[in-house]
Amino acid sequence: MTKKIIRRDTLLDQVYEYLRDQIVTGGIEPGQRLIEEKIAEELGVSRSPVREAIRRLEKDGLVVEQLQGGVTVYNPTIKDYQFLYECRIELEPLAAMYAAERRTEKHIEEMEYILNISAVEVKENNMKKIHELNQRFHQIIVESSENPFLIKMITELRGVISFYRSTILEINPMRKETALRDHYNIFLAIKEKNKEKAKQNMRKHLEADYQLYLG
């Protein structure tokens, strides 16, 4: 890591976003130990925001505190992804169903904007941006459900889900194109307020991801 932190917003937010991005995109590898002193020196900040950022990453499920001391990047197993899938396949189709019922025009406009930008990034093969847009698209659907308990449950899984999505794109880079088509079908169902279709399309999307992961 050689990036220097620019002082805007809070240092904690900047350090957190930077480390999270490095973990999700593979800049910091699974199982790698995070050393506060080294990160602070490389980013040009004190250890305090680094320590707080690591705590936040731990809550996200992206880093793990080791029994022998120290913190390492989460290193998921096939079983972990199976358990995550079992949660997502129930929660996210439900969110899509309620999104179709409760979405606002603002939600629709943002989804459509993200899909348009995503199409450009897919052509450019900008994997980092594709990942960010993918994440935001799913999050808007969750927010559109207007169910605070559902939002809380899915949001708490967001960190691990990001890791999972990155892994899928590494396994099959062409998934970015079929995933975009899936997103468009989900969007249309939500826009048309077709609850069952939105639920079915989201389920198909998640099932396709999981099958790709299993190979």
Compute the distance between CA of residue 93 and CA of residue 46 in angstroms, rounded to an integer: 43
Whether residue 4 lies inside any domain: the answer is no
Other CB atoms within 10 Å distance of the CB of residue 8: 8
Residue where a domain terminates, one of 49, 73, 97: 73
112 and 168 co-located in one domain: yes
pLDDT at 30: 85
> What CATH number is given to the structural domain containing 58?
1.10.10.10
120 and 206 co-located in one domain: yes
pLDDT beneath 70, residues of the chain: 1-9
Identify the burial level of 36 via C-beta atoms within 10 angstroms of its C-beta, where 0-12 means exposed, 13-18 middle and 19 or more buried: middle
Question: What is the token pair recorded at 206?
Answer: 């998640």
Whether residue 23 lies inside any domain: the answer is yes
89 and 48 co-located in one domain: no
Query: By residue range, what is the domain housing residue 164?
Result: 78-214
Residue where a domain terminates, one of 52, 73, 94: 73
> What CATH number is given to the structural domain containing 132?
1.20.120.530
State the total domains in the chain: 2
DSSP count for the chain of H helices, then E strands: 10, 3
pLDDT at 4: 55
145 and 195 co-located in one domain: yes
pLDDT at 1: 52
Compute the distance between CA of residue 111 and CA of residue 149 in angstroms, rounded to an integer: 22
Whether residue 3 lies inside any domain: the answer is no
Question: What is the token pair recorded at 39?
Answer: 């990160």
Question: Is 118:187 a contact under the CB 8 Å cutoff?
Answer: no
What is the value of pTM for the model shown?
A: 0.82
